[in-house]
Structure 1
Amino acid sequence: MNELQITELNGKRVLTTQQIADGYGTTNKVISNNFNNNRTRFEEGKHFVLLVGEYLKEFLHSQNLGTQNKIRKLYLWTEKGALLHAKSLGTDEAWDMYDILVDTYFKVQEEKQVPLTLDQQIAAIATGYGSVKEELVEVKDRVSDLEENAPLSAGEYNYIGSRINQRVAEVARGYGKITREQRGKLFKDINQGVKVVTGVSTRTQLRAKHFDTVVDFTNNWEPSTATKMQLRQMSFDFEA
């Protein structure tokens, strides 16, 4: 075990899938299958950490593995994760190697650390791997923000325009024969409503996050009282 390369993440010793496979006398594929077949037993942050994207690149660089550009994701296993694999595999070799890992590889780390208080242990469990977990949440939030603020696709933009035209036509039929000016009042009313519910100044500023709101508003739109009064007055003037 003295030759086992030390792998650490945020000051905590972990093992790669390759290290577990080599130690337990099996292959990466067997470890991966073991994980997939027992997926509900493995808890992210407790038994393993999955690194992808920039976090993976930074980790590979810190371990002098930056040239392995083909790696797209990497599972790192904690002491408890190594235990689950030993239990699942159930071989004497896996159990013997797990005992060695606990007595040497992981125990060395424990001896270097100051014992945590009960409150600190609870906080550590609650936060998982601290900054890594927080950073992953931040990345997820940024991705969600980018998706929500992406411009409408051409299909979505055209659908909104078509649905607004249809809704205006539906409402206009309730007034019988109306003039182009009266129809313009209806379009002005519905477009103003779209701006109010989305907070944009022009329809071209609509984003993906606005699509459902605009469609729902359009389907339920009715002219304001002021617009209705204008339409009636214009009809009286037209008849006179």
Structure 2
Amino acid sequence: MQLSVIEQNGIRVLTTNQLAEAYGTDTKMINRNFQRNSERYEQGKHFFALSGEELREFKGSRQIDPNLKFASILYLWTEKGAWLHAKSLSTDKAWDAYEMLVDDYYRLQQQIKPLSEKEQLMAAMKLTLDANKEIGEIKSEIVELRDKVENQITLDHGQQRRIQRLIGSKVYEVASNEEHKRLLFAELHREIKDRFGVASYKDLKRQEMLKAIAYIESWVPRKAVG
């Protein structure tokens, strides 16, 4: 069976007339099966439904039978769409025809057809949209990572040692004997925990480190000590 080659969006397709002829049935049966199982068919995957300006442009490409030039909507069936129709008909002839279509029509490699100016523009726009989407996703991941660093990551060992030394320096600055130092160490540690809502200065968030340093440097004991 010789089939006129029809392409849409760079892939081979068949009209309802061609599909009906190949399967040994009529267009009414093809349309009836489509209507009964419409939820299984996905436009762009199983078929293309052309109308309006898109249909006028397609007719102008002279790919279809002249008898279809007055059609207001044109269905073009992909390989996956042809498979669903063969499944609906479920006759030996339909399955034999489907295998033939797969081997000799849908997957037959031909010289690549150059894209029209409109197709090139649409492809470029799609690439731009896809790129923008990927950029947006990357930005979201960066923001999420930054938020995690700022709001969840605690001090590393070196930063903990810095806070510890600063606490010790402050206590030694205001206390004159060992008993007062012990009391002030406890007081300052307690106030740091209360001020920053942590169980220990080691649990301070990295983003709060500079605030903690400023707080310790300006800290004054609640009671004067000698």
Short-chain TM bin: 0.3 to 0.5
The normalised TM-score by structure 1 is 0.44
TM-score (norm 2): 0.47
Q: Bigger radius of gyration, 1 or 2?
A: 2
